[in-house]
C-alpha cells in the first residue's frame, strides 16, 4: 500500500455505482469526511466556494459522509444528497456513506490515514471534516484538522495547482 496513489482506488457513488478515482488524474483533490448534523457542517459552504473558485484550474473536492462521530450522519445516501444540495448548494461529488476508522474503514481512508498521520502520528480520523489534500500526482500533500476552515486551505491549494502538471 505504501507506493499506492489516489488513482488506484474505487469508491461507491451515492447511487451505488462504482467511481474510479483514476478519473481525477491530473487534478488536485481535496478529500473530506462530511456529516449533516455536525458543528462543522457549515463548512459545506466554504468547500463549495473553494470548488467554484478553483474547479476550472483543476481542483476536485470529494465528500465522504460518515456516521462514525456522534451519529451525526444518520440519513440515507438519498437524504444526504438532498441535504447537501438544498442547504448548501453543493455541486462537488458527495459519495456513499463510509466508515473512516476501524476494521471496516474504506480502503481509501486506510491509505489516506497511513499516508498522512495526524497529530503525534495517530492515524485515526478524530472527527467530521478532516481534510486530505492530494497533488496532481495522486500523493497526499497534507492532512488538515476538522476545525481548519476551507478558506484557510487556499494557499495550499494554489501551491498544489501551480505544481507541474
Residue 73: what are its φ and ψ, rounded to 5°?
Answer: -135, 65
Rounded-to-integer distance, Cα 59 and Cα 35, Å: 21
DSSP letter at 94 equals B
On the 0-12 / 13-18 / 19+ scale of CB atoms within 10 A, 81 is buried
Q: Which position among 11, 38, 98, 157 bears the catalytic label?
A: 38
CB 36 within 8 A of CB 14: no
> Helices 43-54 and 154-162 sit at what angle, rounded to 10 degrees?
30
**Does the active-site annotation cover 38?**
yes
* 3-state class (DSSP) for residue 96: coil
Residues serving a catalytic function are: 38
Amino acid at each position: 500500500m505504501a507506493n499506492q496513489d489516489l488513482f488506484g482506488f474505487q469508491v461507491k457513488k451515492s447511487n451505488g455505482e462504482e467511481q474510479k478515482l483514476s478519473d481525477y488524474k491530473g487534478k488536485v483533490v481535496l478529500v473530506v469526511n462530511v456529516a449533516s448534523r455536525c458543528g462543522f457542517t457549515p463548512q459545506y459552504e466554504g468547500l463549495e466556494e473553494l470548488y467554484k473558485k478553483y474547479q476550472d484550474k483543476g481542483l476536485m473536492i470529494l465528500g465522504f459522509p460518515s456516521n462514525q462521530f456522534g451519529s451525526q450522519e444518520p440519513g440515507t445516501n438519498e437524504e444526504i444528497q438532498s441535504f447537501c444540495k438544498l442547504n448548501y448548494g453543493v455541486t462537488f461529488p458527495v459519495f456513499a456513506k463510509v466508515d473512516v476508522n476501524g476494521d471496516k474503514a474504506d480502503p481509501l481512508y486506510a491509505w489516506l490515514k497511513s499516508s498522512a498521520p495526524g497529530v503525534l502520528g495517530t492515524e485515526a480520523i478524530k472527527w467530521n471534516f478532516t481534510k486530505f489534500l492530494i497533488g496532481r500526482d495522486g500523493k497526499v500533500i497534507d492532512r488538515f484538522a476538522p476545525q481548519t476552515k476551507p478558506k484557510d486551505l487556499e494557499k495550499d491549494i494554489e501551491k498544489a495547482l501551480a505544481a507541474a502538471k
